[in-house]
């Protein structure tokens, strides 16, 4: 393999699309998409009928607004599509933003959906391990967030060795792949069901509206208009929630 084949491009090395083409809004598949659907609707963004067709293999969809197309990507990839300028706008969990820490991304709005936390957990029967990981010659941590994990432990003077998994992290300490895990926790039921306990919250997480900074500079009116549609949609759903409580 040539050396070039191994080069990983940084977002700043890619071009920004023409101003007359539709803006691309990157939406994550899965749980955030479900939570974001009412907000999109309030913001007046309605993807074409194929978007809800589970059999469709399309990944890019026109919307009712000729200025906006949506693409459906993995939640972990939304930030990368936006950082590289392939999409100008996106909806993305703060966990993913923290992990990649792309300087090209600006996150103007907290959408208040996808609430959870990124935490350290350990087997219930090994209490105290996270409080005193120096007891171990080498702390092994299983996670799909290697950067967040490395930063967290390094800030405490601990050189954690990372076991990089993409799911089912809770199995890692049980099957001796790692001592600890760093994963998302919401209700805590996945931890409990697998004999683990949360020992430390690294950060609270919600989903954000994100934009590519260069696109915001080169097309400020178009991008700001979309940010404002989301801002108005958020205000109207907050007002509705208040009315329902009253
Ligand atoms: N248990 C949870 N409760 C609330 N929000 C969560 C929870 N788990 C994850 N999230 C949020 O939803 C985002 C996507 O979740 P997750 O990584 O589980 O992907 P997914 O919906 O299963 O899709 P994918 O197949 O792309 O991984 C996370 O980045 C996080 O911001
Ligand atoms: O505290 P809880 O309410 O149990 O939620 C936490 C679980 O949710 C997420 O997994 P998800 O359901 O998305 O599965 P996956 O990441 O393994 O696909 C996360 O990775 C935890 O396993």
The pLDDT-based confidence of 137 (bands split at 50, 70, 90) is low
Whether 105 and 224 map to the same domain: the answer is: yes
The residue-averaged pLDDT of 96-121 equals 98
Question: From atom 22 of ligand 1, which residue's Cα is the shortest distance away?
Answer: 30
Tokens read off for 126: 């090994």
Q: How far apart are CA 33 and CA 55, in angstroms?
A: 17
User: Does 169 share its domain with 142?
Assistant: yes
Q: What is the distance in A from the centroid of ligand 2 to the CA of 159? A: 26
Summarised one tens digit per residue, pLDDT across range 139-167 is 999 999 999 999 999 999 898 999 999 99
H helix or E strand, kind and range, residue 208? strand 207-212
For residue 54, the model assigns a pLDDT of 79
Q: How far is the CA of 221 from the centre of ligand 1 (A)?
A: 32
Q: Is residue 1 part of a domain?
A: no
Q: Tell which residue, 18, 65, 84, 81, has the closest CA to residue 218.
A: 18
Q: Is 35 found in the same domain as 105? A: yes
Q: Are residues 39 and 78 in the same domain?
A: yes
168 and 227 belong to one structural domain: no
pLDDT of residue 16: 46
160 and 170 both lie in a single domain: yes
CATH number of domain containing 188:
3.40.190.10
Mean pLDDT for 193-216 is 98
Does residue 151 belong to any structural domain of this protein?
yes
* Residue 3 pLDDT grade (very low, low, confident, very high; cuts 50, 70, 90): very low
Q: Which residues, at least 6 apart from 119, have a Cβ–Cβ distance to it below 8 Å? A: 182, 183, 184, 185, 198, 199, 200, 201, 202
Cβ–Cβ under 8 Å, residues 229 and 43: yes
Task: Evaluate: CB of 47 within 6 angstroms of ligand 1.
Answer: no
- Residue 2 inside a domain? The answer is no
Q: What is the pTM of this model?
A: 0.91
**Same domain? 15 vs 70:** yes
Closest to 102 (Cα-Cα) out of 12, 16, 24:
12
166 lines ligand 2 (CB under 6 A): no
Same domain, 96 and 215: yes
Q: Is residue 3 part of a domain?
A: no
Shared-domain flag, residues 221 and 179? no
* Residue 146 falls inside a structural domain: yes
User: What value of ipTM does the predicted structure carry?
Assistant: 0.94
Q: Are residues 122 and 140 in the same domain?
A: yes
The yes-or-no verdict on residue 5 having pLDDT over 60 is: no
The answer, yes or no, to whether any atom of ligand 2 lies below 6 A from the CB of 192, is: no
Q: Structural domain tally of the chain?
A: 2
Hey, which of 93, 170, 198 would you mutate to test ligand 1's pocket, going by the most ligand atoms within 8 Å of its Cβ? Answer: 93
In this structure, are residues 83 and 167 in contact, taking their beta carbons and an 8 Å threshold? no
- Average pLDDT over the chain, rounded to whole? 91
Evaluate whether residue 72 is within a structural domain. Answer: yes
* CB of residue 244 inside a 6 A radius of ligand 2: no
Say what percent of the chain tops pLDDT 70.
89
- Going from the Cα of 170 to the center of ligand 1, the distance in angstroms, rounded, reads 15
What is the bridge-based pairing of β-strands 89-93 and 207-212? antiparallel
What percent of the chain stands above pLDDT 90? 76
186 lines ligand 1 (CB under 6 A): yes
Residues 6 or more apart from 7 whose CB is under 8 A from it?
Answer: none
Once rounded to an integer, what is the mean pLDDT over residues 4-23? 66
Q: What is the pLDDT of residues 114-124, one digit of tens each?
A: 999 999 999 99
- The ligand minimizing its distance to the Cα of 183 is 2
- From the CB of residue 41, how many other CB atoms can be counted at a distance below 10 Å? 11
Which residues are registered as beta bridge partners of 164? 143
Decide if 174 is inside a domain.
yes
What Å distances lie between residue 132 and 124, 129, 138, 157, CA to CA? 15, 5, 12, 12
Q: Whose CA is nearest to atom 10 of ligand 1?
A: 114
Do 16 and 45 share a domain, yes or no?
yes
Is the CB of residue 184 below 6 angstroms from any atom belonging to ligand 2? yes
Query: Same structural domain for residues 21 and 87?
Result: yes
Here the tokens at position 241 are 């929630």
Domain of residue 158 covers 116-204
């Amino acid at each position: 393999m040539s050396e070039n084949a191994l080069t990983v491009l940084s977002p700043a090395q890619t071009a920004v699309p023409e101003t007359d083409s539709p803006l691309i809004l990157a939406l994550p598949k899965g749980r955030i998409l479900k939570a974001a659907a009412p907000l999109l609707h309030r913001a007046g963004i309605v993807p074409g009928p194929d978007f809800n067709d589970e059999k469709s293999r399309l990944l890019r969809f026109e919307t009712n607004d000729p200025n906006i197309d949506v693409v459906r990507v993995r939640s972990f990839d939304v930030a990368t599509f936006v950082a590289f300028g392939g999409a100008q706008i996106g909806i993305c969990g703060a966990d993913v933003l923290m992990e990649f820490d792309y300087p090209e991304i600006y996150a103007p709005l907290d959408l208040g959906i996808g609430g959870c936390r990124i935490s350290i957990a350990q087997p219930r029967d090994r209490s105290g391990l996270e409080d005193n990981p120096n007891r171990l010659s080498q702390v092994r941590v299983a996670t799909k967030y290697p950067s967040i994990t490395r930063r967290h432990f390094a800030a405490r003077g601990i050189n954690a060795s990372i076991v990089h998994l993409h799911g089912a992290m809770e199995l890692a300490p049980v099957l001796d792949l790692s001592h600890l895990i760093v994963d998302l926790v919401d209700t805590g039921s996945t931890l409990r069901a697998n004999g683990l306990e949360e020992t430390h919250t690294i950060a609270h997480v919600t989903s954000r509206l994100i934009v590519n900074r260069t696109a915001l500079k080169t097309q400020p009116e178009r991008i700001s208009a979309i940010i404002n549609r989301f801002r108005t949609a958020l205000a109207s759903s907050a007002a509705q929630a208040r009315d329902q409580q009253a």
